Amino acid sequence: MPLTRHHATRRRRAATTLLASAVSVCLLASGAPATPLGIGDRLFPHLGNPGYDVLSYDLALTYPGSNDQPLQAVTTIDARVTADLDRINLDFAHGTVRSVDVDGRPASFTGAGEDLVITPEEALDEGRSTRITVRHTSDPAPAGREGGWVRTADGLAMANQADAAHLVFPCNDHPSDKAMFTFRITAPDGHTAVANGLPAGVGRARGATTWTYRTPHPMATELAQVSIGRSTVLRRTGPHGLHLRDVVPAAHAAKAEPWLARTPGQISWMEEKAGRYPFATYGLLLADASIGFALETQTLSLFEREMFTDPGLPAWYVESIMVHELAHQWFGNSVSPRSWSDLWLNEGHATWYEALYAQEKGGRSLEARMKAAYEASDGWRAAGGPPARPEPPEPGRKIGIFRPNVYAGGALVLYALREEIGRTAFERLEREWVTRHRDGTASTSDFVRLASVIAGRDLTGFLHPWLYGTATPPMPGHPEWRAAARDATPARRPVAPAHRLDASRE
Ligand SMILES: [Zn+2]
């Protein structure tokens, strides 16, 4: 997983502006040194920037035909200005910026920490809209930490979660600022480019093809996906005519097909649980690379190709990883976390449906899995923090914030809630959650509030110890369950496999 540098000295002046765009943000007067900013995320204080709301990104990328050279790129950002700005900070940390225009006029720019700090000719007033055009390179060479472009055997893919989209393109790199995306990818003949969303045109000229894709739904930067490779695109139809497409290295298409053919049935199963699939398309991207995890990039989940061509992996395991990433399309993608401390809402739900599927389709007991998680839970909390208040990522630790406390630990919170309010209310809550917050962002307190509404009683007193306590509360209905003695050493892997396969492979 992406490593993060700690920015202990990074300014936190904007910390209180997170989620509060009404609070006026007083940025530095021009002439003062450029400073990296953030929106004060507790786990990644340097991510995002105050003073604007991105409406759309247009990314034009030109692939040179080899994945060890930079791509030429133009990123165009349309944004609404939410505070008077002398400067605009974007997150961008890995590439060369050639020029920046603001509303068609050249602007000066400089780097500061992991920010690109832009000074437009004229200050921007609150309430107006603005267009920022950045001409830059996008560099697939290692950035000194993981994340961003993934070099595959035949091209490139992306893995930006949680804080690495700004290694690929300039952006407001926080899931609380979702936006529409257009991708225009030019690659030499013989390559196929696919990105999130729906195809919106193909143009051919002089030995190269330009592929355009658009997202008809807003998306967080961390969920962007662009695949460039010698790929085959396999198309099929899902429930109620949903367009599905998988992107597979051409040489492995036949072998992967029996797995890929299971997607429509998995979507139907998830729709029974959570309601309509929230996007216009879905599919799997099989990358020919050892990445050690799978990732729920919106409408096009990223997997290691080997998972589908290695005959040694049990069917229930492969399918439950597929369902995990699919469940994220509702939980994590359509409903994005308001801050990274809400990560358990992503991973807890994805692990929950992964485990439920393994029970219903593979006969693997959910209760046994939850009992084992209960036994490990105090140790996970000691090592990684409570599910809804996880510890910050540690520099040099590969796993970052993606620890068992938010995966099986998060699913355990959902199990406790289902035991407490009953299956009918729980299932109603799940559907209402993804309906109410569709295409938006939501926080842990939103979840507690909605659970209370659906249950018809205030669940704060019940859920807060589960979400924020250092000790695991008693499990409703299972007073005999015991947490094992605390062990400060984190479990090397969750009780059941999470989608981050690094734990099970190392
Ligand atoms: Zn996940």
Alpha helices (H) in 249-365, listed in sequence order: 253-260, 263-274, 315-330, 343-362
C-alpha of residue 349 to centroid of ligand 1, in Å:
8
C-alpha of residue 326 to centroid of ligand 1, in Å:
9
Mean pLDDT across the chain: 90
Mean pLDDT, range 13-27, rounded to an integer: 34
Q: What is the pLDDT of residue 454?
A: 98
**Measured between alpha carbons, how far is residue 297 from residues 205, 222, 320, 390 in Å?**
30, 8, 17, 23
Q: What is the pLDDT of residues 331-384, one digit of tens each?
A: 999 999 999 999 999 999 999 999 999 999 999 999 999 999 999 999 999 999
C-alpha of residue 498 to centroid of ligand 1, in Å:
7
Least confident range from 46-55, 407-416, 478-487: namely 478-487
C-alpha of residue 347 to centroid of ligand 1, in Å:
5
Q: What is the pLDDT of residue 24?
A: 32
What's the fold here for domain 335-505? Answer: Neutral Protease; domain 2 (1.10.390)
Domain with CATH 2.60.40.1730 in the chain: 1-229
Q: What is the pLDDT of residue 490?
A: 46
Q: What is the pLDDT of residues 145-184, one digit of tens each?
A: 889 999 999 999 999 999 999 999 999 999 999 999 999 9
pLDDT of 27 over the 60 cut: no
pLDDT of 26 over the 50 cut: no
C-alpha of residue 323 to centroid of ligand 1, in Å:
10
Domain with CATH 1.10.390.10 in the chain: 231-330, 335-505
**Measured between alpha carbons, how far is residue 63 from residues 191, 208, 209, 263 in Å?**
10, 10, 10, 30
DSSP label of 313:
S
Least confident range from 29-43, 72-86, 92-106: namely 29-43
Question: pLDDT exceeding 90 applies to what percent of the chain?
Answer: 85
What is the pTM for the complete model shown? 0.91
Give the whole-angstrom CA distance, residue 279 versus residue 243. 10
Q: What is the pLDDT of residue 67?
A: 98
Q: What is the pLDDT of residue 154?
A: 96
Q: What is the pLDDT of residue 11?
A: 28
Measured N-to-C along each axis, helices 408-421 and 423-436 cross at an angle, to the nearest 10 degrees, of 120
C-alpha of residue 493 to centroid of ligand 1, in Å:
14
C-alpha of residue 407 to centroid of ligand 1, in Å:
7
C-beta separation of 82 from 126 below 8 A: yes
3 state SS of 184:
strand
C-alpha of residue 94 to centroid of ligand 1, in Å:
26
C-alpha of residue 337 to centroid of ligand 1, in Å:
13
Q: What is the pLDDT of residue 10?
A: 28
Q: What is the pLDDT of residue 30?
A: 52
Q: How confident is residue 486, by pLDDT bands cut at 50, 70 and 90?
A: low
C-alpha of residue 206 to centroid of ligand 1, in Å:
41
What is the total residue count of the chain? 506
pLDDT of 493 over the 90 cut: no
Least confident range from 129-133, 172-176, 185-189, 500-504: namely 500-504
Q: What is the pLDDT of residue 32?
A: 80
pLDDT of 506 over the 50 cut: no
Q: What is the pLDDT of residue 31?
A: 66
What's the fold here for domain 231-330? Answer: Neutral Protease; domain 2 (1.10.390)
Query: Using H for helix, E for strand and C for coil, what is the string for 372-434?
Result: HHHHHHHHHHHHHCCCCCCCCCCCCCCCCCCCCCCCHHHHHHHHHHHHHHCHHHHHHHHHHHH
Residue 162, phi-psi category: left (phi > 0), alpha (psi -120 to 50), beta (remainder): alpha
* CATH classification code of 1-229: 2.60.40.1730
Question: pLDDT exceeding 70 applies to what percent of the chain?
Answer: 89
The CA-CA-CA angle for residues 26, 27, 29, to 5°, reads 115
C-alpha of residue 65 to centroid of ligand 1, in Å:
32
Residue type for 495, please?
V
Mean pLDDT, range 392-407, rounded to an integer: 88
Q: What is the pLDDT of residue 495?
A: 38
C-alpha of residue 1 to centroid of ligand 1, in Å:
12
Q: What is the pLDDT of residue 7?
A: 27
Mean pLDDT, range 295-303, rounded to an integer: 98
Mean pLDDT, range 224-228, rounded to an integer: 98
Q: What is the pLDDT of residue 265?
A: 98
Q: How confident is residue 494, by pLDDT bands cut at 50, 70 and 90?
A: very low
C-alpha of residue 118 to centroid of ligand 1, in Å:
35
Q: What is the pLDDT of residues 330-340, one digit of tens each?
A: 999 999 999 99
Mean pLDDT, range 415-436, rounded to an integer: 98
Q: What is the pLDDT of residues 430-484, one digit of tens each?
A: 999 999 999 999 999 999 999 999 999 999 999 999 999 999 999 999 999 998 8
C-alpha of residue 187 to centroid of ligand 1, in Å:
31
